[in-house]
Amino acid sequence: MNDTAAAAPSQSGFLGWVERTGNKLPDPVFIFFYLIIALVAISVVAALAGVSAIHPTEVDEATGSNTVIQAVSLLSPDNLQRLWVEMPATFTHFHPLGYVLVVMLGAGVAERSGFFAAGMSKAVKAAPTSLLTPVVALVAMLGNHAADAGYVVLIPLAGILFAAAGRHPLAGIAAAFAGVSGGFSANISPGQLDALLFGITEEAVAASALHPGWTANIAGNWYFITAMTVLFLPIIWYVTDKVIEPRLGPWTGGAQAGASDAAASPDPTEHDGARASKGLRAAGLAAVGVIGLWLVMTFAPGTPLINEAACLTETGEAVADCSIHTELGPLYQSLVAAFFLLFMLTGWAYGRAAGTIKDHRDLVNMMAESMKDMGYYLVLAFAAAHFVAMFGWSNLGLITAVHGAAGIEATGLPLPIVLGLMVLFAALLNLFIGSASAKWALLAPILVPMLMLLGVSPEGATAAYRVGDSATNIITPLMVYFPLILVFAQRWKKDFGLGSLTAMMLPYSIWLLISGTLLVVGWVYLGVPLGPDAPVAYSLPVAAQ
């Protein structure tokens, strides 16, 4: 197969322009370094020009009025000293770093033991033929926690199952790809993506100084991502069965066409279903054990995850304005550790029962391998950490947020429409920068405090971003798995090129973006909580106003 010939159709039109333009962009790591250089220059000019804003929360005790935020040059002696002296702390104190590494230690075991892949394969293979499309789409969205396994195992397997059912295998690949990547943020439980995004959100809130002590709750979008799953499932089902498959036409290649190539991505349950089933039962028991442990630590008397004393005075009286977040703060902060144990112990239990983990050394090796895979993320996090920190040192982030919020208020646009526009902007940016963490690290220092000033919670800003970040994943050739999906498709249709794949996925992208944007707008209008103790609305701390 000539890959150059296959790629040719994508070189014309708008999508060809996206591909050519995106390929000219530097690596996201260097994008951050170039932005830091630009930030230094802008900070010098802003400081010399006396750029400032009125701080919305801090009050000058001497005058009784709100303090003035002045732009600070990043070449000032204090900031230069801070840059070089605090460089290790700037990197290691970057909130997403610890969150992601801890969760991925456990997820690496669950993935490498075969637990994630076996669970997805078992669920899809058990689906009735009439419900094959929705089951594939649902498992694909839930498979987001499985990282690479969702792409490498489920997508080619969906093609094989559709062909075996007499349906077009490319329709199966499209449905699975739409679920795994187009529904990237949709799920019924938080996972490593929530840890990653909320870590960046927490860093942005801390840098703005609008709400000192605000801590991320990685379950802060739980209700919202569950609603995304419920909304996206019928959309992927309809587009697959009523738009994509009729366009592809009837499949006449038989159930085995391309199957020998598809075997390059093995199904972990294919050769030893008994051991896989035994492993899944063991993993289920381990999951029940972890969930039970957290329930005991949350609801049993005198447990460590409820801080009841935080809402009591020294005399034992209840504090009137104490929020439930204060009492449940330890529980929310423990969820990162909970997901680490959940993934690690279920993966370990599966591996011991299925024979993929022989002893504790295999477990340690799997955890070590998962950290090797995080090598690029560590480099990206180093650059992002310094960009976010220096944005805070210069005061430009908060100044921009204050003036940006005032400008949006002056337009008179309803807040839900503002968030809808934010979704569309994130979707457009996603065509050129594929990394979810890189884009959010770029946007969060301005968007999070700006929306807080407008009355939107950090959880609300994060929810709006993740909708836009997901919808266009499946139409940009810059998405890291896009070439892999093309290879899977070419196993069934040899002349299937990049343009063909993009055209096949475009209806999904359009409908997911439209429905996701309407979901955000409607959610803000209704004021429904985004997760446990995670309202959409936000007001600045009373004590600081």
* Longest Cα–Cα distance in the chain: 82
Yes or no: say if 430 and 373 are a contact pair by the CB < 8 Å rule.
Answer: no
Q: Is the pLDDT of residue 460 over 90?
A: yes
Q: Is the pLDDT of residue 315 over 60?
A: no
Q: What is the mean pLDDT of the chain?
A: 82
| CA dihedral of residues 4, 10, 11, 14 (deg, nearest 10) | -170
Q: What is the pLDDT of residue 265?
A: 44
Record the tokens describing residue 302, joined without a space: 């005198």
Record the tokens describing residue 11, joined without a space: 């070189």
Write down how long the chain is: 545
523 against 257, higher pLDDT: 523
pLDDT band for position 308 (50/70/90)? low
Q: Is the pLDDT of residue 323 over 60?
A: no
Which of 485, 509, 507 shows the shortest CA–CA distance to 498? Answer: 485
Q: Give the three-class secondary structure for 46.
A: helix
Q: Is the pLDDT of residue 206 over 80?
A: yes
What ranges in 165-315 are assigned the alpha helix state H? 169-177, 192-208, 222-238, 245-248, 259-262, 273-299
Q: Is the pLDDT of residue 475 over 60?
A: yes
Q: Is the pLDDT of residue 53 over 70?
A: yes
Question: Which residues have a Cβ under 8 Å from the Cβ of 474 and sit 6 or more positions away?
Answer: 177, 178, 181, 182, 505, 508, 509
For 93-134, write each residue's pLDDT tens digit: 887 788 778 888 888 898 889 888 888 778 777 778 788 999
What ranges in 251-374 are assigned the alpha helix state H? 259-262, 273-299, 324-354, 360-373
Record the tokens describing residue 272, joined without a space: 């030893």
Q: What is the pLDDT of residue 326?
A: 54
Average pLDDT over residues 463-469: 91
For 331-381, write each residue's pLDDT tens digit: 777 888 888 999 899 999 999 999 999 999 999 999 999 898 788 888 888
- The 10 Å Cβ neighbour count of residue 12 is 10
Q: What is the pLDDT of residue 228?
A: 95
Question: Which residues have a Cβ under 8 Å from the Cβ of 288 and sit 6 or more positions away?
Answer: none
List, in sequence order, every residue forming a beta bridge with 52; answer none if it has no partner: 70
Rounded-to-integer distance, Cα 378 and Cα 437, Å: 12
For 66-97, write each residue's pLDDT tens digit: 788 899 999 999 999 999 999 999 999 887 78
| CA dihedral of residues 318, 319, 320, 323 (deg, nearest 10) | -110
Record the tokens describing residue 432, joined without a space: 């050129």
Amino acid at 326: T
Q: What residue has token string 């902007």?
A: 425
pLDDT band for position 9 (50/70/90)? very low
Q: What is the pLDDT of residue 24?
A: 72
Q: How buried is 23 (Cβ within 10 angstroms: 0-12 exposed, 13-18 middle, 19+ buried)?
A: exposed
Q: What percentage of the chain reaches a pLDDT higher than 70? A: 85
Please state which of the ranges 31-45, 209-223, 449-463 shows the lowest mean pLDDT.
209-223
Write down the domain spans for the chain: 3-16+25-544
Q: What percentage of the chain reaches a pLDDT higher than 90? A: 33
Q: Give the three-class secondary structure for 207.
A: helix
Rounded-to-integer distance, Cα 279 and Cα 273, Å: 10
Rounded-to-integer distance, Cα 406 and Cα 450, Å: 9
List, in sequence order, every residue forming a beta bridge with 110; answer none if it has no partner: none
pLDDT band for position 229 (50/70/90)? very high
CA distances from 134 to 139, 236, 309, 476 (A): 8, 8, 47, 24
**Residue 442 CA to chain centroid, in angstroms?**
14
Which of 470, 495, 468, 485 shows the shortest CA–CA distance to 176? Answer: 485
Which of 525, 513, 532, 465 shows the shortest CA–CA distance to 231? Answer: 513
Amino acid at 45: V
